[in-house]
Amino acid sequence: MPDQELQSSTETEKLENLAKKIKAWGESLGFQQVAIVEPDLSQASQRLNKWLADGFQGSMQWMGEHGDKRYVVDKLVDHTLRVISVRMDYLADNKMIAVLKNNNKAYISRYALGRDYHKLIRKRLAELVKRIEDELPEMQLSQRPFVDSAPVMEKPLAEQAGLGWIGKNSLLLNKDAGSWFFLGEIYTSLRLPADQAEQPDRCGNCRACLKVCPTDAFPEPYVLDARKCISYLTIENKDAIPEELRPLMGNRVFGCDDCQIICPWNRFASQTKEDDFTPRHNLDDSDLTTLFTWSPEEFLSNTEGSPIRRIGHERWMRNLAVGLGNASGSEDILKVLEARAQHPSPLVQEHVAWAIALQQKKLLTQPVIDNPDTKPE
């Protein structure tokens, strides 16, 4: 019995030391936070199933697939006992409000301005998995990294790990870092010591994110109706954007950050240390007309390695047409739209026709401004 206790004590100490190493390795790989959780997703699964029953997932039917693999972790990866949850900051821009206020500019969600985070973070997590395995060559480990790429409840897991709390905008908030960050996970069969640092909900009476939402996509705090969310409408939605929601989208052509921009906790967000998240092709400050004139080949070239590419050129044009319809009345914009009126895609045609009608109406009703350089005869 004493030998068993000694063996157990030695094993515990070994795992505690390994947990410290994992966090140090994670930091060296560019993660701002690494934490370990013994997952319990029972409550999160109840919230998810109610959300699905309410139909708030829209066309994202995959959210209800995979059975209970989404919240019973060892059914997704055999023998999983712990989840290593990581955070990586991505904010690399401070022009957000200025771009949103200029309705001739294209607003693209800040996470999508640089390189696709899936590739970058997955590579770093794979390296972390390798270091763990190299540390324990005698053990047959079951480990698998994830980056928003499988039925993983990353926000509830990160919340339990102490990386933050899920706010009223349904995003994970951190008191020291706001919400401008990506999450990643490693499912592992190692019985690592779990962190006991769960952050309390610090939203209090604040309702700023709920009030600022352009399409009123929050039926209640902590609940998002994806069908009305601009991120869903411009990225996940493959069909026509509901006409009643188009005027509310403004110049947001890929995603939406309003509920993050307004959040008081994002005053504490830090700029990213990753060069790969730096904006490419001037996407943080581009005119709607410039992006709308990209050919399919230019779209593929300019979005290489970018998360924007996944929506394809057709939906890119659909989104930009809505933005151009919402822009200030302009003969130049009208000409650009009319040049695409016979686009081969019926989806694009329909949104361009809507935008043309809106631009024509604006040009008819807006006041004529005299050119101050014109001298009376």
Provide the annotated active-site residues.
Answer: 148
Give phi and psi for 76, each to the nearest 5.
-85, -45
Residue 37 CB partners (closer than 8 Å, separation 6+): 82, 83, 85, 157, 160, 161, 162, 194, 195
CB-based contact 167:203 (threshold 8 Å): yes
Task: With H, G, I as helix, E, B as strand and everything else as coil, classify residue 177.
Answer: coil
Alpha carbon distance 314, 308 (integer Å): 12
Alpha carbon distance 112, 110 (integer Å): 5
Neighbours of 151 (CB within 10 A): 17
User: Inter-axis angle of helices 331-338 and 312-326, to 10 degrees?
Assistant: 150
Our CA angle for 197, 185, 142, nearest 5°, is 110
Neighbours of 54 (CB within 10 A): 11
Structure letter (DSSP) for residue 178: B
The residue among 324, 311, 277, 314 whose CA lies nearest residue 294 is 314
Task: With H, G, I as helix, E, B as strand and everything else as coil, classify residue 239.
Answer: coil
